[in-house]
Structure 1
Amino acid sequence: MKIKTALLASALTSVGFAAQAAEVTVMSWGGAYTKSQVEAYHKPFTAETGIKINSVDADNPATPIKAQVEAGNVSIDVADVEFSDAVRLCDEGLLEEIDSSILPAAPDGTPAADDFIEGALQDCAVANIVWSTVMAYNTENNATAPDSIDDFFNIADYPGKRGLRKSAKATLEMALMADGVPAGDVYDVLDTDEGVDRAFAKLDSIKSDIVWWEAGAQPPQLLADGEVVMSTAYNGRIFNAAVGEGQPLEIVWDGQILDFDLFVVPKGAPNKDAALQFISFSTDTQRLADQASWISYGPARKSSGALVGTYSDGKTEMAPHMPTAEANLGNALVNNFEFWVDKDAELNERFNAWLAN
């Protein structure tokens, strides 16, 4: 009995040391967004569990997953990806499934499955934020303040360079809205050859004035440096530059495109159990509310909303800066992830061909 007890104690001690020694590699998008995750998720998780977080960044964390899984050499445990990428990667069998029953209930006992915003829980993914692609401008470089997505394409009244993400997604939708397509009809129009032609024709009207960006940190810098007078951008990056750094940047919410970012675990992740533990911890009600104090992205849980307070400066109320604030939803488009799962390859091929001409 003493021998068995000793062996059991030794085994438990080994497990404890293994847990303490475990590390989780989390890949995200960098800049102010990664900082918000480090402060709200990484540091508290390590403090509570002893598990170290290795934080790495990419222009798009979905990109390396396919190559790593197919090569059987996975180094990422958790990745923060866009909605359509999460669904596509899951459909291709490149992600681990995540049972929503591992996620903590809301403070009032509401199960996680009922507390997350509709669509935020997928077979292989758990959303953490609602964000949007918006149009932004530098107040010092525009004699008249633009106030609609139409103005982005109005070179005559608003001369100067425009910053656009080097991707079909969001770019084509904004082009159609600027061309007069109601937000609710955008995907029906874009699902036709004529609609695609219409979007590219609108882009042709400003093609010579476009400065392309690929990383989220670029648009605020382009605007601050005066290299462009307007740019599409992630709303949280503009908020951070304006409120966090004092840059003279403003968001135009008209024509914004709402989306989720979600946590996924690549198939064959070396630390799968610890990765799921991290996701469960980071998407509880309080952690999601905590992240919103660092960047203006809305929490993916309903119960987090009431806990969102001020920015980390202690004075800026965050609610009006959220893409989901009622005043900001007047002409908003919700990203149709099913459309982009089906059309991503086709439209990006057309987009790249257009760029090359």
Structure 2
Amino acid sequence: MAVTGLVAVLLAKPAFAGDQLTVTSGGGSFQQAQRKAVFEPFSKSTGIKVTDDEYSYDSTKIRAMVQSKTVSWDVVNAGPATTIRLCGDGIIETIDWKKLGLDRAKFMDNDKNDCGVPNLISATVIAYDKDKLPSGPKTIADLFDLQKFPGKRGLTKGPWGNLEWALIADGVAIKDVYKVLSTREGVDRAFKKLDTIKKEVVWWTTGAQPPQLLADGQVVMTSAYNGRIYDAIKNSGKHFEIMWDAQQPAISFWVVPKGGPRLDDAYKFIAFASSPQAHAEMARITAYAPSNKDAMALVDPAILPHVPTAPDNLRNALPSDSIFWMEKGDELGQRFTAWLLK
């Protein structure tokens, strides 16, 4: 499906053969979808070539580029905590919504910061192979139940999300998770719960690993990004299933590193990538939910049950608190690393 909604705006300045934009994102099936749904149609509509790069959502390189005045990434897809921190530190541009030509009110989470344009909503979920576990898991507590579900678990190698799930499995109400996690006793409680499965955990570091861990039978269940699991089901024929209980939805943002030489073209790209058509097409391919509210009417009805914002999937969701992780991330990351070594 070609994206055509903003061509008049995009072509306000003539494009030349030498025009080129570097867009950086998280790689894998997600970035493959971006190439098909956004990068290639944008280039076709504007004549501006998109060169894409990949990163692990670590902001170190963005900081180094800006501070050394050698910015080569024109647009970056960034996570919420990173966006808030980089915005506060003056590393990324403040978004001029009037120049962008978009209605800020049309976007979910539009008030989270002034430096990012909301992109897609993904979710960290628990996934399993239906052929091997036909009857479960059903709740996040099952992740920690080695008697009912013996075998290895896959978890991301970090505190983010794991501490929250540990508290929920230990009886903390979702609405109280971050209040409890803000205390020393709460952190101790979360790590104590993680202790109960620590020896059975396979730690993963990239989004491509969880589907492979399941496919290889190395784990009986794993945390994963919902889009990666959807891709494995749709394109690789895997009989995987998502367990949505305590899913952790998170929104990504398009940001512009400060001092880049192609600011006008960066704005054109973000406007194009943020159109309802582009968001709907990305949802069709990835099952990540649009943040552009006008896009939902364009999303294929067959996809809607698979996106994180579907009402049934949101019933017991735990939205990640990006402010909490911005403030506590380094401290809890150090404790997690020390805990792993015990």
Give the TM-score of the pair, scaled to structure 1: 0.89
Letter in 2 for 1:272: L
**Deviation of 1:349 (Å):** 1.2
Unaligned runs of 5+ in 2: 1-11
* Residue aligned with 2:237, SS: coil
2:295 pairs with 1:304:
yes
C-alpha distance 17-329 of structure 1, shift in aligned 2 (>3 A): closer
Is 1:342 aligned with 2:327? yes
Instruction: Report the 3-state secondary structure (helix = DSSP H, G, I; strand = E; otherwise coil) of the residue aligned with 2:332.
Output: helix
**Conserved? CA contact 1:103–1:283, under 8 Å:** no
Instruction: Give the CA RMSD over aligned residues.
Output: 1.7
User: What is aligned with 1:48?
Assistant: 45
2:171 is aligned, of 180, 184, 188, to 180
Q: Distance in 1 between matches of 2:190 and 2:110?
A: 27
Percent of matched pairs sharing the same residue:
44
**1:26/1:55 contact within 8 Å kept:** yes
CA distance in 2, matches of 1:165, 1:153: 15
Residue 151 (str. 1) matches residue 142 (str. 2): yes
Q: Tell me the amino acid that sits aligned with residue 145 of structure 2.
A: N
CA contact (8 A) 2:127 2:240 kept: yes
Largest Rg, 1 or 2: 1
Whether the 8 Å CA contact 1:62–1:85 is kept in 2: the answer is yes
Q: 1:61 to 1:289 in 2, by over 3 A?
A: farther
- Whole-Å Cα distance in 2 between the matches of residues 277 and 17 of structure 1? 12
Aligned to 1:108: none
Task: Decide whether the 8 Å contact of 2:127 with 2:221 is kept in 1.
Answer: yes
Could you give the per-residue CA deviations for residues 127-168 of structure 1, whole angstroms, max 9, x where no partner exists?
111111101111223264211111111111111111111121
Q: Quickly say closer, same or farther: Cα 1:208–1:60, change in 2 above 3 A.
A: same
| Aligned-partner SS, 1:261 | strand
Residue 226 of structure 1 aligns with which residue?
A: 217
CA–CA distance in structure 1, aligned partners of residues 220 and 299 of structure 2: 32
Q: 1:1-80 counterparts in 2 under 5 A? A: 19-60=16-57, 62-80=59-77
- Distance in 1, matches of 2:118 and 2:85, equals 15
Within-5 A mapping of 1:88-167: 88-105=85-102, 112-119=103-110, 122-142=113-133, 144-167=135-158
**Correspondence for 2:242:** 251
Task: State TM-score, norm by structure 2.
Answer: 0.92
- Equivalent residue number for residue 5 of structure 2: none
Mapped partners of 1:73, 1:352: distance in 2: 32
2:4 corresponds to: none
SS of residue matched to 1:354? helix
**Count of residues in correspondence between the two structures:** 331
* Displacement of 1:70: 2.5
Contiguous gaps of at least 5 residues in structure 1: 1-14, 106-111, 311-316
Match of 1:330 in 2: 315
